[in-house]
Amino acid sequence: MSEYIQITTTTENKEQAVVIAEKLVKLRLAACVQISGPVKSIFWWKNKVEKADEWICTAKSKSNLYKKIEKTILEIHPYEVPEIIAVPIVNGSNEYLKWIDEESAKDK
């Protein structure tokens, strides 16, 4: 398993995305969270196809923090079943990965 991960979640508006991003960064669960959107999502929900504009949060962190990140997102996310997925960062510049190490899960 990779030591570094990107965690993605989506929200129904920019304000919710900012709340999640700020919480993850302030708690040092992520070194950075990028917010992008809106994007158009088309998905199955309760036996029908739905469409929604959503905002994407992409957090850069370490795999050993995933469970805490998931728990934190679930505590504040308005969706009944939010998307919370993680993918490994298989490679990156040494300086950037070192920065993730230095800024994630660190008390100041």
For 52-78, the pLDDT digits (tens) are 999 999 999 999 999 999 999 999 999
Nearest alpha-carbon partner for 21 in 51, 52, 61: 61
Residue 106 pLDDT exceeds 90 = no
| pTM of the predicted structure, to 2 decimals | 0.93
The whole-angstrom distance between residue 35's C-alpha and the CA centroid of its chain comes to 9
pLDDT at 2 (0 to 100): 76
**Separation between Cα atoms, residue 105 and residue 89, nearest integer Å:** 18
Q: What is the mean pLDDT of the chain?
A: 96
Residue 108 pLDDT exceeds 50 = no
Q: Which domains does the chain have, with CATH numbers?
A: 4-103 (3.30.70.120)
| CB distance 80 to 12 below 8 Å | no
Residue 107 pLDDT exceeds 60 = no
